Every structure is written in C-alpha cells, then in structure tokens.
Amino acid sequence: MAKTTVVAIDAMGGDNAPDIVIEGLAQVLKKEENVFFLIYGNEDKLIPLVKQYKLNPDKFKIHATTDVIKADDKPSAAIRNGRESSMFKAIMAVRNGYAEAVVSAGNTGALMAISKICLGTVSGIDRPAIAAVIPTLQTPAVVMDLGANAQCNSQNLVEFSIIGTALYRILFKKERPSVGLLNIGSEDTKGRDEIKEAASVLKTLDESVNFYGFVEGNDIGKGTTDVIVTDGFSGNVALKTLEGTVKMVSGTIKRLAKRSLFSKLIFLLALPTFKILKKETDPRQYNGAMFVGLNGISVKSHGGSDAFSFACAVNRAISMARHDLCAQIKKGVEDLMRQTEEKE
C-alpha cells in the first residue's frame, strides 16, 4: 500500500478563504487517495464547509486557530505577532514533522519569511527562491527567482540552476532538463558580471546541470529551455509581463469578435480552437509558486485562487513531497561542491 502524504493547509489565507480552500481539497480527494490534510483555521467556519463539500472524515483533521495573518501585514509583524495564526501553525506542522508540505493562499511575504525562519534552508543553499511553472510553445517551463531575491550574485544563480533542475525532474519526469540564464543577449559578452560569472561556472558542471547558455525574454514563451534562471527583480517583471500579455490577447480576441456580424461568425467557427487555447494557457492549472531551497516544502497559492487553482497548488505540493524535493536539492548541492573541489 502506498504511503500517505500529509499536507498542512492554511485554510484562512487568501481572498476567498476558507470556502475555496475546502472545496479545493474536496477536488483533490476525488482523484487522490493516499493523502491526509491537517487543516488550520477557524473551526466555526470550517466545520460547515467540510460537511457542505463532503470531505471524507478519515482524510483530514481540523486544528482550531484564533488569528489570521492579513494580506497587508508586514512580514516582520507577521513573524512577531502571528504565532497563533493559521499560517504559522501550518508551517510549524512541517517544521515539527507532522506534515511533509504546507500550502497557503495568504500573504506572500509573510509566508516566505515565516517559512524561511521556521524551516531553514537546505545545507549549502545561501538563499531560497520562488519558482513557478508557466506554459510555453513547447513543454511547460520552470522560472525562478520570481521575487524572493531582488539582487543575486553568481553563486545564487548557480544554486538556483541546481534547484530548478531538481524541481523540473520531479514535476515533469525529465532527467536532464535544460537550463538557461535570462540575459539581454545570447552572446558571452552580454549582461552583468554576476550573470557572466554564473555562466562560466555552469559550463563546468555538466554532471549536475544541463546548461544551455543565455536566453532572452522572448525565449521564455518559446520554451527554448526547460528551466529559466534569473534574479528576483527581473523574474518578477518577466512573469507580470507574461500575465499581462495573455490578458491583452484574450481581451483583444473578445473585443474583435463583437465588431460585426461577420466577426461573430468567424469567432464561432474558430470557437473549438479558442477553447483549446484557453485550456492550455489557463493560469489556474499552473497555480502554486514554490519556495524552493528551504528545508521543507512550502507552496504559495495565488491570493485570488478559485477551488480548481487551489487544488492544483495542493497537487503540486503532494508531488514535491512524494519525490522528496529537499533531498534531491541537497544531493545537487553536494555534487556541485564535489565537482568544485575536483577542479581546484
């Protein structure tokens, strides 16, 4: 019999919590048998919801909490005053070994800060990063960092490449995913010193990282590489630009379809194709930003998630836990240190 994966849930974080959280868990349980949820939140609100969505009582346990970390709370205040909150308690469940992963749709900065303090980082990793999966013209890509570290040195970028490789292997079952460094050009002479230094190191690490080279912004959507590595400032700008472009294209198609009777007819004829496009680019199925490099699994669902997108974030956490992401990252760092020592 397969081992049961235990996931801690911050049921009170997010714009639509706790309703969509419990509905999302119900969706997960329809397809997933070997999972158990430790649900942290307001018991008076949660009990009616687990009954409404008919959660199997053998698959969860509610832990009553009194406080909620608000969306506008500063991370420092959340750390100082939020120890009785649903978010803090859920993270501590991972810290204490009661759960293998935590999922929250709450305050991003607070979740990152509390996760880092409570869980610590994998030995050999200087800074954790935020990673996300995005659709491309090829297979989905993992992009990191998306905002945890506005400035990075060359060592950080090398570590992110190792973390991204381990993460991609788990999510997409590809043994040698390609890694690209986001830059302003593909030539070796282009870019800031830390990017060029990181590239020089990655070229020597063929055992650990399948380094493609530099990639540009337009390579993200093309799917030129499986993993795209950058600093948190550039990564966040790139992601928000991509999200805005998708909304612009979608809005333009809808607007043009209403221009005339002929436009409406063309739109109706192309509707099956548009439905496939919508499904493949639906951001909900890629929900679940991952705080990677921590000594534990912490997944951030979008604050405005619906039940389907929250379920996708939970499924991502389950997959990472079952494949022991932290151990794979640790092995990648150890291999890096070994290769570095051999070359000295």
| pLDDT tens digit sequence for 70-100 | 989 999 999 999 999 999 999 999 999 999 9
Cα 83 → chain centroid? 24
pLDDT per position as a tens digit, 211-255: 999 999 999 989 999 999 999 899 888 888 877 877 787 788 778
**Cα separation of 237 and 235, whole Å?**
5
> Is position 334 within any domain?
no
Do 93 and 235 reside in the same domain of the chain? no
- Are 272 and 124 in contact by the 8 Å Cβ rule? The answer is no
- Are 283 and 140 in contact by the 8 Å Cβ rule? The answer is no
Helix (H, G, I), strand (E, B) or coil at 37: strand
Specify the DSSP element, H or E, that contains 181: strand 178-182
- Are 132 and 303 in contact by the 8 Å Cβ rule? The answer is no
pLDDT per position as a tens digit, 286-313: 777 889 889 999 999 988 889 999 999 9
pLDDT at residue 279 in the model? 67
Domain encompassing residue 9 = 1-122+293-324
Do 238 and 118 reside in the same domain of the chain? no
- Say how many domains are in the chain: 2
Residues with Cβ within 8 Å of 221's Cβ and at least 6 positions away in sequence, in order, are 136, 137, 242
Residue 140 has pLDDT above 80, yes or no: yes
**Cα separation of 37 and 265, whole Å?**
48
- Mean pLDDT value across residues 133-162: 90
- Mean pLDDT value across residues 129-142: 89
pLDDT at residue 299 in the model? 94
- Are 142 and 320 in contact by the 8 Å Cβ rule? The answer is no
Tokens for 219? 């390579």
pLDDT at residue 61 in the model? 97
> Is position 205 within any domain?
yes
> Is position 172 within any domain?
yes
Residue where one domain finishes, among candidates 287, 315, 334: 287
pLDDT per position as a tens digit, 4-13: 999 999 999 9
Tokens for 305? 């998630």
Do 135 and 32 reside in the same domain of the chain? no
Do 131 and 219 reside in the same domain of the chain? yes
Q: Backbone phi, then psi, for 81, in 5-degree steps? A: -115, -5
> Is position 32 within any domain?
yes
- Mean pLDDT value across residues 178-197: 92
Do 58 and 150 reside in the same domain of the chain? no
Tokens for 60? 């969860």
Residue 63 has pLDDT above 60, yes or no: yes
pLDDT at residue 268 in the model? 75
> Is position 193 within any domain?
yes
Residues with Cβ within 8 Å of 140's Cβ and at least 6 positions away in sequence, in order, are 133, 134, 172, 286
> Is position 342 within any domain?
no
- Mean pLDDT value across residues 138-154: 90
- Mean pLDDT value across residues 182-188: 89
Do 111 and 138 reside in the same domain of the chain? no
pLDDT at residue 84 in the model? 94
Detail the DSSP E strand segments found in the chain. 5-10, 35-41, 60-64, 101-104, 129-134, 141-144, 178-182, 210-215, 227-229, 289-292, 297-300
pLDDT per position as a tens digit, 212-222: 999 999 999 89
% of the chain residues with pLDDT over 70: 93
Tokens for 5? 């994966």
Peptide bond into 145 cis (omega under 30): yes
- Mean predicted lDDT score pLDDT of the chain: 88
Question: What pTM was computed for the model?
Answer: 0.85
**Cα separation of 134 and 246, whole Å?**
12
Residue 26 has pLDDT above 80, yes or no: yes
Residues with Cβ within 8 Å of 95's Cβ and at least 6 positions away in sequence, in order, are 118, 119, 296
Peptide bond into 128 cis (omega under 30): no
> Is position 340 within any domain?
no
- Are 214 and 173 in contact by the 8 Å Cβ rule? The answer is no
Do 118 and 130 reside in the same domain of the chain? no
Residue 341 has pLDDT above 70, yes or no: no
The residue with greater pLDDT, 124 or 43, is: 43
Do 143 and 170 reside in the same domain of the chain? yes
Do 175 and 304 reside in the same domain of the chain? no
Do 150 and 283 reside in the same domain of the chain? yes
pLDDT at residue 278 in the model? 66
**Cα separation of 293 and 164, whole Å?**
10
> Terminus-to-terminus CA distance in the chain, angstroms?
47
% of the chain residues with pLDDT over 90: 56
**What is the pLDDT confidence band of residue 274, given thresholds at 50, 70 and 90?**
low
- Are 122 and 166 in contact by the 8 Å Cβ rule? The answer is no
Do 137 and 101 reside in the same domain of the chain? no
Do 135 and 274 reside in the same domain of the chain? yes
**What is the pLDDT confidence band of residue 25, given thresholds at 50, 70 and 90?**
very high
> Is position 85 within any domain?
yes
For the domain that residue 60 is a member of, what is the CATH number? 3.40.718.10
